[in-house]
Chain A
Amino acid sequence: MKLIKFRSALAAALVFALVFALTACGGTGSGSAASGSGAASASSGAASSAQKGGEVNVYNWGEYIDEGLNDQFEKATGIKVNYTTFDSNESMYSLLKSGGSSYDVIIPSDYMISRLIQEGMLEKLDFANIPNFSLIDDKYKKLEYDPTNEYSVPYTSGTVGLIYNTKVVTGTVDSWSLLFDEKYSGQILMFDNPRDAFGIALKYQGHSLNTTDEGELNSACELLRSQHPYLQGYVMDQIFNKLESGEAAIGPYYAGDYLTMLDTNPDLAFCRPKEGTNWFVDAMCVPKGAKNKANAEAYINFMCSTDACLANMKEIGYTSANKEACEKYAADLDAAAYDIMFPTEEELKNCEIFTNLPAETLALYDKLWIEVKA
C-alpha cells in the first residue's frame, strides 16, 4: 500500500517536474527565438523605435531601488521588467564575461563602467530616447570613467567616509589614521574588497587611488598588512550590525548607509578625512548585444525622471544625480544629514573617482590583496 503510494507520488512529481521544465524551457526558448538570434537581427531589432510591450532585463545592485518604480514603469509603457540583482561589480563582470547573460540595462559602478567601455562590452546610448538626461546635474556628466558620456547615465552617487562611535573614540577625527590607530585594537573594521581598501591606504599615504605605480601600491599593501593584527575584520554589509551593536567602533563605509546606522545607534559620527576619499557614481548602461535596446533606453529615461529619483533617494539613501530631486529631498533634511548627503564643492575637490586600471595593475591588486588577507 505504502509502496504504491510512494511510487505514484514519485511518478507524479516526475511528470509534473518534466512538464514544468519543458514549458518553462519552451517559454524562454520561444521568447528568444521571437526576439531573433544572432547579432544582425538583434541590432536591427534595436534600431527600430521603442516597441510597445516587450520586455526589458534589468540588472541592478540588491536593495537598490524603490520596488514600486518597476510597477509604475510597466503600467506606463506596457514593457515588462525582469528585475534581477547582483552583489558586486566583479560578480556582474564575471557573468557578463562568461557570456551567460542577456541583460538590457545594467547598473555598475564607475570603474567597472570604464572597464566595460575599454573592453567594448557596452552599447552607445541613443540620447534622443533619453530626454530626461537634461535633468541630470552637470557635475555628473562627462566624468573620467566615461569621458564622452556616450555609454552611461548616472543613477546614484555617494562618498566613502569614516564612521566611528563617539562613545569609544576620543578627540576630533579628521584623518584616516584612526583606522590604523593601535589604541583601538580589535575595534576597527575595513572594507572587504581590494579597490576600496587600497583606495583608503593610498589616499592616506598621499597617492591617487588610481595609481599604477608599483612602489605606491606595495607601500599601501604594507600599510594594510600592518593593520592586520589589530583589525577586527574585513566586512561588507556586516558593518551595519557591528557598528550598530557596538561590536566594533570604527569603520569606513558609504555616506548614505551611515545615516541608516545612525537611526539605530545615535552615538555614531561620520567624517570625510582630510587626506581625501572616494566619490563614487553608479550609472545605468546597456551591454553590447542587448536585445531590447530601445526598451532599455525607455527604462533609463524613466529612472532619470525627478519623481523616480526622489523615490529612490528616499528608499536607498544615496544621493541622486537628478538636480531637482536632490533639491526636493534636501528640503526635509536637517543640516547635519544634508552635509553628509551633499558634499560641498570644496569637499568634492578632495574626492577622487575610481577609473579602470590596466590589466597588469589589476593582477597586482589581486596578488597584493591575497598577501594582505592571508
Chain B
Amino acid sequence: MKTRAFAYPYLAWMTLFVIAPIILVVVYAFSAAGGGFTFSNFSGIAAYSAVFLRSFALAGIATAACLLLGYPLAYVLSKEKPRLQRVLVMLIMLPMWMNFLLRTYALMTILENTGLLNKFLALLGLPQLNIINTPGAVVIGMVYNYLPFMVLPIYSVIVKLDRSLIEAAQDLGASPDRCFTRVVFPLSLPGILSGITMVFVPAVSTFVISQLLGGGKSMMLGDLIEMEFLGTSYNPHLGSAIALVMMIVVVICMRLMNKFGSGEEQAVIL
C-alpha cells in the first residue's frame, strides 16, 4: 500500500522531539561540568553495579509475577461474553487513572505493619506479615502498577485467535493440556512479548515505589538517576550517563527477547 507519505509528519516530529533530545542526552553523558569530551561519567558507573543488578533483578521478578498472574486473567477474560469483556477491560485500566503516588500511598496503608492487611490477619488469628520496607514490597508495588499492561496485550491476542486451529487440534486428538501448550500458548507469544516489554521497561526505571514501599532502602536505577538531577549536587552529566547505560542494557534485553518471537510481528500491544 502506498501509505509511506502518511508517516512523514510523524517522522519530522520524531526528529525534533525524540532524536534531538536523545542526542542532547548523549552529549551530556560524554561531557563534564566544565565542558569537553570525557569518559569520566562512565567510569564512575561501575560503583553502582549493585543498584543496576537490583533494579534489573526486581524488575525481572515483577515481570515474571505479572506474567504468571496476567496470562490466566487474560485467558479467562477472553472467554466471557463480548460486552462483559469490554467492561472488564475498561475496569482493568480504571485504577491507572488514580494518581500513581496516591495508589502507592494506599498500598502502604494496606501493607504496613499496623496496616489493613495485618489488622485483617489479626482478626483471623493468623500471624502478622512484615512486608513493608522490604524488596518484596517493592515487587508487589510494581506488580500492582503494571499488571494491566501485561493483561491487555495478551488478552487482545488470545481473543483474536483462530478458533478453528484449536478445534482442529482437538479433532486430531489433543488433550486440553496439549492443546494449550502446543497451540494456544505459542500463538499468544506476540502478546506475551509485548506485555513483557510494557512491564519490564518501566519497572527498571521506577523511582517512587522503592522510596515509599521499600523504605528507601532498596535503591533502584530510577532513584539513582533522579538523585543526579534532583540531588544535593546537580549533576546532569552523570545522570545522563547512567540513563544511557540503562537504555542500552534494556535494548539488549529486548533484542534477546524478540529472538523468541517471530521476526515480523514485533511488539504487539493491543
Chain A positions within 8 Å of B, measured between CB atoms, are 88, 90-91, 93-94, 97, 192, 194-195, 228, 231-235, 238, 241-242, 245-247, 359, 362-363, 365-366, 369-370, 373-374
Q: Is the CB of B234 within 8 A of A97?
A: yes
Asked if residues B211 and A369 are in contact (CB atoms below 8 Å), the reply is no
- B234 / chain A contacts, CB cutoff of 8 Å: 90, 93-94, 97
- The answer to whether A366 touches B227 (Cβ under 8 A) is yes
A247–B114 CB distance below 8 A: yes
| B positions within 8 Å CB-CB of A | 48, 50-51, 105, 108-109, 112-115, 133, 211-212, 214-217, 219, 223-224, 227-235
Point out the residues of chain B lying under 8 angstroms from A194, CB to CB: 231-232
Chain A min CB distance to B154 (Å): 25
**Can you list 27 A-B contacts with CB-CB less than 8 angstroms, sorted by A residue number?**
A192-B211, A228-B217, A232-B215, A233-B133, A233-B215, A233-B216, A233-B217, A234-B211, A234-B216, A234-B217, A235-B216, A238-B105, A238-B108, A238-B212, A245-B114, A247-B112, A365-B232, A366-B228, A366-B231, A366-B232, A366-B233, A366-B235, A369-B227, A370-B219, A370-B227, A374-B50, A374-B51
Known: A359-B233, A366-B232. A192 touches B112 (CB 8 A): no
Interface centre among B113, B215, B228 (most CB of A within 10 A): B215
Chain B residues positioned under 8 Å from A235 (CB to CB): 215-216
Taking the closest CB of chain B, its distance from the CB of A61, in whole angstroms, is 15
Docked Cα-Cα span, A347 to B219, in Å, equals 37
Kindly provide the distance from the CB of B44 to the nearest chain A CB, expressed in whole angstroms.
9
* A370–B231 alpha-carbon span in the complex (Å): 10
In whole Å, how far is B13's beta carbon from the nearest beta carbon of chain A?
14
A93 to B229, CA, bound (A): 10
Rounded to whole angstroms, the CA-CA distance of A194 and B40 in the bound complex is 24
Per the bound structure, the CA–CA distance linking A359 and B235 in Å amounts to 11
Task: Return B108 CB to nearest CB of chain A, in Å.
Answer: 7
Q: A195 to B223: give the CA distance in the assembly, Å.
A: 17
Closest to A91 in B: B230
With a cutoff of 8 Å between Cβ atoms, the chain B residues found around residue A238 in the complex are: 105, 108, 212
Give the CA-CA distance A32 to B235 in the complex, in Å.
30
Q: Is the interface of A mostly helix, strand, loop or mixed?
A: helix
A233 nearest in chain B by CB position = B215
Q: Total number of A-B contacts with CB less than 8 angstroms?
A: 74
The answer to whether B232 touches A369 (Cβ under 8 A) is yes
Beyond A88-B230, A234-B215, 8 additional contacts (C-beta under 8 Å) are: A94-B234, A232-B133, A235-B215, A359-B233, A362-B232, A362-B233, A366-B232, A370-B227
Instruction: Report the separation of the CA atoms of residues A362 and B133 in the bound assembly, to the nearest whole angstrom.
Output: 28
Q: How distant is the Cα of A97 from the Cα of B235 in the complex, in angstroms?
A: 11
Q: What 6 A-B pairs come out closest when comparing CB atoms?
A: A233-B215, A234-B216, A362-B233, A365-B232, A374-B219, A90-B230
**CB proximity of A12 to chain B, nearest CB, Å:** 20
A236 to B114, alpha carbons, bound, how many Å?
19
Query: Which residues of chain B are within 8 angstroms of A242 by Cβ–Cβ distance?
Result: 112
Which A residues lie within 8 Å of B223 (CB)? 373
CA distance A362 to B233 in the complex (A): 5
Closest to A234 in B: B216
* Contacts A232-B133, A245-B112 given; does A192 touch B216 at CB 8 Å: yes
Q: Inside 8 A of A246's CB, which chain B residues have their CB?
A: 114
Given A232-B215, A233-B217, A235-B216, residue A370 in contact with residue B48 (CB < 8 A) = yes
Q: Which residues of A contact B115 (CB under 8 A)?
A: 247
A228 to B50, CA, bound (A): 16
Q: Inside 8 A of A91's CB, which chain B residues have their CB?
A: 230
Among residues of B, the one whose C-beta sits closest to the C-beta of A87 is: B230
Chain A residues within an 8 Å CB radius of B216: 192, 233-235, 373
Residues of B within 8 A of A365 (CB): 232-233
Measured between beta carbons, the chain A residues less than 8 angstroms from B212 are 238
Q: How close is B80's CB to chain A, nearest CB, in angstroms?
A: 21
List the A residue with the shortest CB-CB distance to B130: A186
Smallest Cβ distance from B222 to chain A, in angstroms? 13
Chain A residue numbers with a CB within 8 Å of B232 are 90, 194-195, 362, 365-366, 369
**Known interface pairs A373-B217, A373-B219. Does A363 touch B235 (Cβ–Cβ under 8 Å)?**
yes
Question: Distance (Å) between the CB of B89 and the closest chain A CB?
Answer: 17
In the bound complex, do residue A369 and residue B230 qualify as a contact, i.e. CB atoms below 8 Å apart? no
